[in-house]
Amino acid sequence: MHPALQAIQTIVIGVGGCIGYFYFSNLLLDKVLFPARGPQAGRNISRANMIRPWLFLLPAMIALGLYLAYPVFATFKLSLFDKSGETFVGFGNYAQMMTEAKFWESMRSNALWLLFVPAASTAFGLLAAQLTDRIWWGNIAKSLIFMPMAISFVGASVIWKLIYDVRPEGAEQIGILNALYLALGGDAPQQWLTMPFWNNFFLMAVLIWIQTGFAMVILSAALRGVPEDTIEAAILDGANPFQIFFKIKVPQIMGTIVVVWTTITIVVLKVFDIVRAMTNGQWGTQVLANYMYDKLFTSLDWGVGSASAMVIMLLVTPILVWNVYNARKEMR
Amino acid sequence: MDNIAGSKPALTWAVHISAVLLVALWVFPTLGLLVSSFRTSDQIASSGWWRALSTQESQMPAIRLSGTETQKDGVFVIEGNLFEGSSATVARWGINSRDPEAYAAGETGALQSGEALTVTETGSYTLSSTQSMADLRMPRVFVTASQPPQFTLQNYDTVLFKPAVGQSVGKAFLNTLTVSIPATIIPILIAAFAAYALAWMEFPGRALLVAAVVGLLVVPLQLALIPLLQFHNAIGIGKGYYGVWLAHTGFGLPLAIYLLRNYMAGLPRDIIENAKVDGATDFQIFTRIILPLSFPALASFAIFQFLWTWNDLLVAMVFLGTTQDEMVLTGTLLNLMGSRGGDWEILSASAFISIAVPLVVFFAMQKYLVRGLLAGSVK
């Protein structure tokens, strides 16, 4: 069957199936199992209402359980077995991983990414929000800075690879970074993506470019929510615009800044496409997610691959706990 | 707040200029690729895209002369134009690859085999000899010429309709569409029912479930790859579209439920209670009242999910497979970067085809996207 037909069929079956399930399961509950008539009508209604939430939740719970909750445990189990998943090796995979230079390289790059990407994106986002909130063409500016959010990581990698492009010395440079570097007095064109240590930063630039728009949109909304009277009071007290920004506005939106920071942190921990597309982890740019992919699908080593996936999970866990804690606080 | 900046013209200017710089910095990278995708490979290779609008002097690839011989006054002559239709101005030219700028336009040079060649500024040439040149291998000419700005749709044509082996962008486009449409639509209904239950129905364990959804929001999908592949193999769907659709549905649900629940919980209590008093069942309340009122939140999630599934690389690579026919746009692009890394005319056109749809969706539905982002992260 042609995939497009298969897609249409899936939409019809999927959507029809959902509607059918919800409609008929409710019908069954109300008309057959606990009909709201006869001598026990009252008891039946309350019983039906006890069961109904679970009818509504069932498909979602099955999908979430199977596709997100179960894999956490299954991956942990796989990480305790050997390459092919047959022999139990305890924490042998973790021990082996610790001896690999590539793993430590990934940890180092991930640490760099964690340190710089959320900070830079949030800072640029804050700057963009503050600048665009005050000008008449602010909305156009916002939507242009926000635009990279719609571009895939791979597409963005192509875009930035053109910027980092390098031609032999003497030839006309077509990458703007090298053209600028030479125009500003650089001696020879640079291989930006193979430059040890610094190439990590050239990869990070791509993610910062994408995430700044996200930070800007959210921080701009928060800035607009800062009460006018606090700012007016500061003006009356003679504060200059910089003092107003850093001492009045920023402290009041600290909560939002933390949310933006943690959201970008999660994206950074899972970064894969950019590294895969631009360097494939060569020249000291390996990151955990790409290390894991190589282990799983190139070396076909499910044990170590799963172990490195667990490391990513472990790094995400503090944020997970923090989010759940906050959500529970709000529910009360 | 305007009055603060307005009272100091210098500061207003500083704000405008910084904003222009920031916007330029953010637009420039994409613009570079867009401009490049409309240039020929020679243009891309010989000058930076930022010079696409200016007249450029560059050394063109060697041109082999051709033409029919005529005889004039005992001299054999071949005449023609190097550029054939396109306009360019010759600055220097040469016959030897080691000295491609030997002659100025209008000068006459001598070939090793004895013929004389004249190339004028407009590119017309005259090759003359005392003997017939019928058996002679025609000489090559190296030209340094300035060309006016030129743009072409050739790259898009090549990429979409005449792909070389291993780079079928058109097919990949259809595959991507096939992956993302069902993967966007199916989670919405499932999530909407669950969100209603979590927002408006009373039952034990509700708070716990909401917390679980919040927790699952950040679980890296990297953990799910091998266990789910095993699961798909076990139930017999293996690698293929069903697997991708299911995976995207599962991975998209936490955000969908979270966004929709937050939105639904904010709907006015009166409407729902009045409906209950009038005897409406939960199912009726949901389909007749909640669902239509939640349209903005549904749209927000649909855009997120569409962008995410369209732009995804990892899920497609793992669950759909990596052979030529199964490739989505991001995967094809990744392969092209590996195999045709220097061919910017192919890469830039392919990349633009892959980001065109998300960009259109983005600019058309930006309002909902922003609303969704705000609902999803700011409390």
Pick the residue with more confidence: A163 or A7? A163
Q: Are B156 and B37 in contact (CB under 8 A)?
A: yes
Cα(A157)–Cα(A224) distance, rounded to whole angstroms? 33
Q: Judge if pTM exceeds 0.95.
A: no
Are residues B124 and B25 located together in one domain of the fold? no
- Give the model's pLDDT for residue B6: 45
Phi, psi for B124 (deg, rounded to 5): -80, 140
CB distance B207–A331 less than 8 Å?
Answer: yes
- Asked if residue B282 is part of any domain, the answer here is yes
**Burial classification of residue A103, based on how many CB atoms lie within 10 Å of its CB (0-12 exposed, 13-18 middle, 19 or more buried):** buried
Asked if B212 and B251 sit in the same domain, the reply is yes
Cβ of A241 within 8 Å of Cβ of B5? The answer is: yes
Tell me the shortest Cα–Cα distance from A224 to chain B, in angstroms.
Answer: 10
Averaged pLDDT, B87-104: 77
Q: Are residues B97 and B227 in the same domain?
A: no
- Residue B173 touches partner A, C-beta closer than 8 Å: no
CB of B48 within 8 A of CB of A174?
A: yes
Residue A120 has pLDDT above 90, yes or no: yes
Instruction: Evaluate whether residue B101 is within a structural domain.
Output: yes
User: In a 3-state reduction of DSSP, which class is residue B147?
Assistant: strand
Last residue of a domain, one of B53, B77, B93: B53
Percentage of chain A with pLDDT > 70?
98
| B264 inside 8 A of chain A by CB | no
Confidence of residue B8 (pLDDT cuts 50, 70, 90): low
**Structure-token pair, residue A50:** 């006890």
A38-42, A184-188, A270-274, range with greatest mean pLDDT: A270-274
pLDDT score of A116: 92
| Residue B56 confidence (pLDDT) | 67
Q: Name residues whose C-beta falls within 8 Å of residue B353's C-beta, 6 or more positions apart in sequence.
A: B156, B159, B160, B169, B173, B329
Q: Who's near B232: CB < 8 A, 6+ residues apart?
A: B238, B239, B242, B243, B246, B319
Task: Among B50, B181, B361, select the one facing A11 at the smallest CB separation.
Answer: B181
Q: What is the pLDDT of residue A32?
A: 76
The pLDDT confidence band at residue B378, using thresholds 50, 70 and 90, is: very low
pLDDT at A322: 86
A147 with B27: Cβ contact below 8 A: yes
Q: What is the pLDDT of residues A232-242, one digit of tens each?
A: 888 888 888 88
- Give B354→chain A minimum CA distance, Å: 7
* pLDDT of residue B166 exceeding 50: yes
Dig out the tokens for B226 from the structure.
């091998």
User: Which of B38, B53, B68 marks a domain boundary?
Assistant: B53
Same structural domain, B12 and B105: no
Residue B128 DSSP SS3: strand
pLDDT one-digit tens code per residue, B346-365: 888 888 888 989 999 888 88
Burial of A311 (0-12, 13-18, 19+ CB in 10 A): buried
Mean pLDDT of B299-324: 86
Specify if B152 maps to a domain: no
Cα(A253)–Cα(A126) distance, rounded to whole angstroms? 10
- With 50 as the cut, is the pLDDT of residue B234 above it? yes
Q: Of B15, B33, B53, which marks where a domain is finished?
A: B53
* Closest residue on chain B to A85 (Cα): B226
- Each residue's pLDDT tens digit, A139-194: 888 889 888 988 999 999 989 988 888 887 777 788 888 888 888 887 888 888 88
Cα–Cα distance for residue pair B192/B285, rounded to 1 Å: 13
Decide if B156 contacts B339 (C-beta within 8 A).
Answer: no
Range in A44-58, A66-80, A201-215 with the lowest mean pLDDT: A44-58
Task: Say what the pLDDT of residue A209 is.
Answer: 93
Buried b (16+ CB within 10 A) or exposed e, A30-57: beeebeeeeeeeeebbeebbeebbebbb
- For the question of an ipTM over 0.90, the answer is no
Read off the pLDDT band of B379 (50, 70, 90).
very low
Question: Does the residue B153 lie in any domain?
Answer: no
Angle, vertex CA B258, rays to CA B253 and CA B259, nearest 5: 100
Minimum distance, in Å, between the CA of residue A194 and any CA atom of chain B: 15
Say if residue B140 is in the same domain as residue B193: no
B292-299 long-range contacts (CB < 8 A, ≥24 apart) are B293/B267, B294/B192, B294/B260, B294/B263, B294/B264, B294/B267, B296/B263, B296/B368, B296/B371, B297/B259, B297/B260, B297/B262, B297/B263, B297/B264, B297/B371, B297/B372, B297/B375, B298/B188, B298/B192, B298/B260, B299/B365, B299/B368, B299/B372
B251 falls within a domain: yes
Tell me which residue has tokens 């650089």. Answer: A186
DSSP B205-245: THHHHHHHHHHHTT--GGGGHHHHHHHHHHHT--SSHHHHH
Residue B133 in any domain: the answer is: yes
In CATH, the architecture of A94-331 is: Orthogonal Bundle (1.10)
Give the domain ranges of chain A: 3-79, 94-331
In this model, does residue A287 exceed pLDDT 60?
Answer: yes
CB contact under 8 A, B33 and A147: no
Q: Which residue of A has its CA nearest to B195?
A: A57
Q: Which residues 271-290 of B are in CB contact (within 8 Å) with A?
A: 281-283, 286
Q: Are residues B130 and B104 in the same domain?
A: yes
pLDDT per residue as tens digits for the range B101-129: 778 777 787 777 777 888 887 778 888 88
Domain count, chain B: 3
Position B167 pLDDT exceeds 70: no
Q: Is B63 in the same domain as B49?
A: no
B91 and B207 in a single domain? The answer is no
Asked if the Cβ–Cβ distance from B223 to A263 is below 8 Å, we say no
Rounded Cα gap, residues B370 and B368, in angstroms: 5
Closest Cα in chain A, distance from residue B95 (Å) = 21
> Do the beta carbons of residue B176 and residue B308 sit within 8 Å?
no
Say what the pLDDT of residue B5 is: 45
| B249/B180 Cα distance (integer angstroms) | 10
Are residues B71 and B27 part of one domain?
A: no
User: What pLDDT, on a 0 to 100 scale, did the predictor assign at position B377?
Assistant: 60
Q: Which residue range is the domain that position B67 belongs to?
A: 57-147
Give per-residue pLDDT as tens, A96-112. Answer: 888 888 888 888 889 99
Q: Is residue B29 part of a domain?
A: yes
Q: Contact at 8 Å (CB) between A72 and B227?
A: no
Q: Do B335 and B321 lie in a common domain?
A: yes
The mean pLDDT value for B129-135 works out to 75
pLDDT at B9 over 80: no
**Whether residue B2 has pLDDT greater than 60:** no
Quote the CA–CA distance of B322 and B363 in Å, as a whole number: 31
Is residue B366 located within the same domain as residue B248?
yes
**DSSP string of A18-82, one letter each residue:** HHHHHHHHHHIIIIIIS-S-STTHHHHHHHHHHHHHHHHHHHHHHHHIIIIIHHHHHHHHHHTB-
pLDDT tier at A121 (50, 70, 90 boundaries)?
A: very high
Kindly report the backbone phi and psi dihedral angles of residue A185, in degrees, each rounded to the nearest multiple of 5, phi listed first.
Answer: 100, 10
CB B32 within 8 A of CB A159: yes
List alpha helices for chain A, DSSP H.
Answer: 3-27, 41-64, 70-79, 92-98, 101-132, 138-146, 153-163, 176-183, 198-224, 228-236, 241-243, 250-252, 254-269, 273-278, 288-293, 302-331
Tell me: do B181 and B76 sit in the same domain.
no
